[in-house]
Structure 1
Amino acid sequence: MTNKITIRKGQLGLLAKEGDYYQVLETGEHRLPWFNKPDVLVVNTDGSEVAAGLAEYLRRFQPEWVERYCLVADMSDNEAGALYLNGMLLEILPPSTRRLYWQADDALKLVRMDTRDVRVPTEILTAVAQPARGVAVKGHDTILTVQVPAWHAGVLKVDGVTQALLPAGLSGYWKVNHLVEAEVVDLRLQVLEVSGQEILTKDKVTLRLNLAANWRYTDVLSAFAQLSKPLEHLYRELQFALREAVGTRTLDELLEDKQVIDALVSTQVANRMAAFGIEVASLGVKDIILPGEMKTILSRLVEAEKSAQANVICRREETAATRSLLNTAKVMESNPVALRLKELETLERVAERIDKISVFGGLDQVLHGLVNIKGSHDAA
């Protein structure tokens, strides 16, 4: 007795007895023996990967099946593969890959690429960056993608060697068989903050300073060729210069001329960083923060200084007033008319405070009376 099995289009049937595959059934209807019935493994020829165990079996015992029904994807140590199905990129195969795929007529295609050329072909990079199905391409992590925006440059290092600057745009590089690093740097003027620096002055006063520096790259390749991390190096140079400027001066010197810190730090850092392709356009100390007890002492000092200045001004004004009175007395002593005018001025001031005055005996009597009143009042 027999039974039937139907293999549909896009399928293969593998017959096996006791684990050994001995025949391939292609599309159509097939009769199988009823007794001692073989095992049938139905696979889809849709470009899917052949299971690892079966792949090794076929390679060893049925190489003609491999040649007829499979796509062999054996990559050398310096090869990467791009696997396409119906024109769409499915997967990036890294070097030394060893796989079999069920062939799907002519829809499955493998493109081999030499990874000794570190740059990824443009069409591969485009397919990885913009996958047709909206799903990330399998194996995309074998590619380093670098996006450089406008007003920026890309610094690429391959196996520790700095390459030419990358222009604005998208580029990709093989991460397999290479140590690839990329950094995008801004070519415009930038700000670096150096905050919270606690430094002892020459007279042992602790100051807390905040500094800001405006800087830019003048030669990016020179900076990255000489320094592994240019920005960190600039930060340390600013720290060192700030400590040197503050640590060699007393608090009084710093408070008397606050711009001295800016000038010294700017000159020192600009000279040191110029050789590394970095320009320090300007810098300045934003804040100088004193400890609490020092603030109290300085407040008292300023108060005492201002009080002393006020006393000096008062004494100067008193001296000037006394000198003026003395000069007036000398003038009146030698000039009776001036004395008479002074008497009239005094009478006018007195009259301003009195509602009504009756005068008997003339102006001389009034003045004489005022003098007598003044004398009596002083005696009392």
Structure 2
Amino acid sequence: MGNVLLVSVPTFNAGVLRIDGVVSALLPVGQHGFWRCGAKVEVQTVDTRRPVSELDAEEFHAQGMGEHFVAMDLAADEVGLRFEDGKLAEILPPDTRRQYWKAQARQELQRVDLKQGLRLDAGQVARLNRPGVAGMEHVLLALVPAFHVGVLKIDGVVVGLLEPGQHGYWRCGSQVEVEMVDTRLQALEVSGQEILTRDKVSLRLSLVANWRYLDVLGAHARMSKPVEHLYRELQFGLRAAVGTRTLDELLEDKQLIDDSVTGHLRTQLQDSGLEVGSLGVRDIILPGEMKTLLAQVVEAEKSAQANVIRRREETQATRSLLNTAKVMEGNPTALRLKELETLERVAERIDRISVVGGLDQVLNGLVSLKTG
């Protein structure tokens, strides 16, 4: 069997027969045999689902076998859509030169002129938005959700806004980006800010602001990252509000911080395309030792207030007793009624009472009045 070469060409492949290093024929799928007597016979199997290499293509054409291939050449301002049996298979970038096997599938090329613009039409977007298409790195497909807009940037320059829906752009020769922007009211939190007050007390504060876009295109034209810009301005406003006031001023009027930061933003965000609807300080955290001192101060203040209230009540009670005594001093009947009231209270605390000599004797015996 040393003088015989037996080869098998599998499915989706072709055999390249070389005799003494020169391409002699292309072999179809199946079993093949060749005599090796006096010549060097080789068979190379190649995948017909892949494009032919440039070196092999030149060799095949030199041997008059160009009818087995389809050439696809694109200019510098063209993009190619390659179809196999009518189904989109691949996106070819500009300046592409490739050869494809005819035997594997019916090959077709659709050219797209980039001079007409980078935007894809609705049909191209729907066709490309399917799995299994090679070369998708040459196209950008962007889905803009509801209540959002897409900021389109080409080579770093903002060129327009995209409405909700599916959009597509060619990336060949240009850097295309789409940044999604939520147009609804949003919350931005500035948390964990360590700030010294004017009297050198360290505070940790958190601030929450509700904001939205007034002019998306204008905001991105003036600022590269509007949300980060808003965050920094909130930080600056918070530091200015706290750093210029003492701890007592801040604790006495917490609304002071909100008003100060709001005024700062009103000045800094003018004509920026951003609007802050409302903001407020969520947390003010004091250092541990400062908490202890403030607790002691509050305790002393409350204790002093309790003493004042207690003395005031005692004074009022004493004054009331003095007024009652003055009334009874000139009115024996009122004094007698007071005696009966006292007797009633005493009787409420006694389980059993034995009366000797009648009720009048009890009253006279218990209480003796001295008349002047």
Q: Residue 83 in 1 paired to residue 82 in 2? A: yes
Contact 2:141/2:169 (8 A) holds in 1: yes
Residue 148 of structure 1: how far off its partner (Å) = 0.8
C-alpha separation in 1, matches of 2:369 and 2:327: 21
What is the match of residue 93 of structure 2? 94
What secondary structure, in the 3-state scheme, does the structure 2 residue paired with 1:165 have? Answer: strand
Which structure 2 residues correspond to residues 54-65 of structure 1 after superposition, within 5 A? 54-58=56-60, 61=62, 65=65
What is the match of residue 378 of structure 1? none
Residue 320 of structure 1: how far off its partner (Å) = 0.9
Contact 1:10/1:104 (8 A) holds in 2: no
Which structure 2 residues correspond to residues 29-178 of structure 1 after superposition, within 5 A? 37=39, 39=41, 48-58=50-60, 61=62, 65-66=65-66, 68-104=67-103, 107-116=106-115, 117-131=117-131, 136-178=132-174
C-alpha separation in 1, matches of 2:78 and 2:318: 106
Residue 57 of structure 1: how far off its partner (Å) = 3.7
| Length, aligned pairs only | 363
Q: 1:226 is matched with which residue: 222, 227, 250?
A: 222
Contact 1:7/1:25 (8 A) holds in 2: no
Residue 232 of structure 1: how far off its partner (Å) = 0.9
What is the match of residue 356 of structure 1? 354
Q: Residue 194 in 1 paired to residue 190 in 2? A: yes
Once the two structures are overlaid, the 10-residue window that deviates more, 243-252 or 322-331, is 322-331
Residues 6/278 of structure 1: CA separation in 2 closer, same or farther (3 Å cut): closer
AA partner of residue 150 (structure 1): A
Q: 2:312 is matched with which residue: 309, 316, 323?
A: 316
AA partner of residue 83 (structure 2): Y
Contact 2:355/2:362 (8 A) holds in 1: no
C-alpha separation in 1, matches of 2:329 and 2:9: 145
Q: 1:277 is matched with which residue: 255, 273, 276?
A: 273
Residue by residue over 1:273-325, the C-alpha shift from the partner in whole angstroms, topping out at 9 and shown as x without a partner, is 35221121222221111111111111111111111111001100111111122
Residue by residue over 1:100-126, the C-alpha shift from the partner in whole angstroms, topping out at 9 and shown as x without a partner, is 222349810112223342223444432
AA partner of residue 288 (structure 1): I
Q: Tell me, which stretches of 5 or more residues in structure 2 are unaligned? A: none
What is the match of residue 246 of structure 1? 242
Contact 2:154/2:176 (8 A) holds in 1: yes
AA partner of residue 284 (structure 2): I
Residue 55 of structure 1: how far off its partner (Å) = 2.4
Residue by residue over 1:342-375, the C-alpha shift from the partner in whole angstroms, topping out at 9 and shown as x without a partner, is 4454455455556134358966992686479xxx
C-alpha separation in 2, matches of 1:12 and 1:293: 84
What secondary structure, in the 3-state scheme, does the structure 2 residue paired with 1:119 have? Answer: coil
AA partner of residue 318 (structure 1): E
Contact 1:78/1:177 (8 A) holds in 2: no
TM-score (norm 1): 0.81
Residues 126/340 of structure 1: CA separation in 2 closer, same or farther (3 Å cut): closer
C-alpha separation in 2, matches of 1:236 and 1:192: 11
Residue 193 of structure 1: how far off its partner (Å) = 1.6
C-alpha separation in 1, matches of 2:199 and 2:344: 65
Residues 231/151 of structure 1: CA separation in 2 closer, same or farther (3 Å cut): same
Residues 334/98 of structure 1: CA separation in 2 closer, same or farther (3 Å cut): same
Contact 2:186/2:211 (8 A) holds in 1: yes
Residues 162/358 of structure 1: CA separation in 2 closer, same or farther (3 Å cut): same
C-alpha separation in 1, matches of 2:277 and 2:298: 36
What secondary structure, in the 3-state scheme, does the structure 2 residue paired with 1:164 have? Answer: strand
AA partner of residue 76 (structure 1): A
Q: Tell me, which stretches of 5 or more residues in structure 1 are unaligned? A: 373-380
| Percent of aligned pairs sharing the same letter | 51
Residue 11 of structure 1: how far off its partner (Å) = 8.8
Residue 337 of structure 1: how far off its partner (Å) = 4.0
C-alpha separation in 1, matches of 2:11 and 2:356: 143
Residue 196 of structure 1: how far off its partner (Å) = 1.1
Q: 2:324 is matched with which residue: 323, 328, 353?
A: 328
C-alpha separation in 1, matches of 2:343 and 2:11: 135
Residues 15/263 of structure 1: CA separation in 2 closer, same or farther (3 Å cut): same
Contact 1:155/1:184 (8 A) holds in 2: yes
C-alpha separation in 1, matches of 2:107 and 2:120: 21
C-alpha separation in 1, matches of 2:205 and 2:86: 62
What secondary structure, in the 3-state scheme, does the structure 1 residue paired with 2:303 have? Answer: helix
What secondary structure, in the 3-state scheme, does the structure 2 residue paired with 1:110 have? Answer: strand
C-alpha separation in 1, matches of 2:156 and 2:359: 118
C-alpha separation in 2, matches of 1:80 and 1:361: 123
Residue 56 of structure 1: how far off its partner (Å) = 4.0
Cα RMSD, aligned residues only: 3.9
Residue by residue over 1:21-62, the C-alpha shift from the partner in whole angstroms, topping out at 9 and shown as x without a partner, is 4x65698xx999986557575778956411232124456x46
What secondary structure, in the 3-state scheme, does the structure 2 residue paired with 1:243 have? Answer: helix
What is the match of residue 291 of structure 2? 295
What secondary structure, in the 3-state scheme, does the structure 1 residue paired with 2:269 have? Answer: helix
Contact 1:15/1:38 (8 A) holds in 2: no
Residue 153 of structure 1: how far off its partner (Å) = 0.9
Residues 130/350 of structure 1: CA separation in 2 closer, same or farther (3 Å cut): closer
